[in-house]
């Protein structure tokens, strides 16, 4: 079920408005979770592949919309909620709307592994996988 929900993220409503980052956050943020049994049955590579597929599909959608600015798809493990979360915003990897310290990363595996393993709170900074999905900047 989780892999299906991840794939559906690529088809959800999408708002890119550099003048209204809060509206982007409200529209473009998804919470993904699953029960312990399914979590144990999933592998890091299959979840990574699903999320990378979403990034690729979003990149195509963003360009098809004619959006020519910066857009970032990002994924993190909300340890307290036990969820994998993802969002899209018209910001760079260094401008993501987190209140606490975070580390943008090109490595998705540790984020997914933390979610699947059920790692709890205690990491000094949030690791966030980032993927550029923006249009070609003129």
Q: What pLDDT digit, counting tens, does each position of 83-134 carry?
A: 999 999 999 999 999 988 999 999 999 999 999 998 655 566 899 999 999 9
Could you tell me the residue ranges of all domains in the chain?
A: 2-132
Indicate the average pLDDT of the chain.
93
Using CA atoms, how far apart are residues 8 and 20, in angstroms rounded to an integer?
Answer: 24
Residue 11, Cβ neighbours under 10 Å: how many? 11
| pTM of the predicted protein model | 0.94
Q: Residue holding tokens 């307290």?
A: 80
């Amino acid at each position: 079920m989780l892999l299906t929900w991840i794939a559906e993220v690529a088809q959800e409503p999408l708002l890119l408005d550099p003048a209204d980052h809060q509206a982007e956050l409200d529209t473009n943020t998804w919470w993904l979770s699953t029960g312990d049994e399914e979590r144990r049955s999933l592998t890091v590579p299959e979840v990574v592949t699903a999320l990378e597929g979403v990034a690729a599909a979003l990149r195509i959608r963003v360009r098809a919309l004619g959006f020519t600015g910066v857009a970032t798809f990002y994924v993190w493990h909300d340890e307290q909620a036990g969820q994998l979360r993802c969002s899209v915003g018209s910001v760079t990897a260094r401008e993501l709307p987190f209140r606490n310290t975070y580390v943008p990363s090109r490595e998705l595996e540790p984020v997914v592994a933390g979610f699947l393993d059920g790692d709890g709170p205690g990491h000094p900074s949030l690791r966030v996988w980032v993927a550029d999905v923006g249009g070609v900047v003129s």
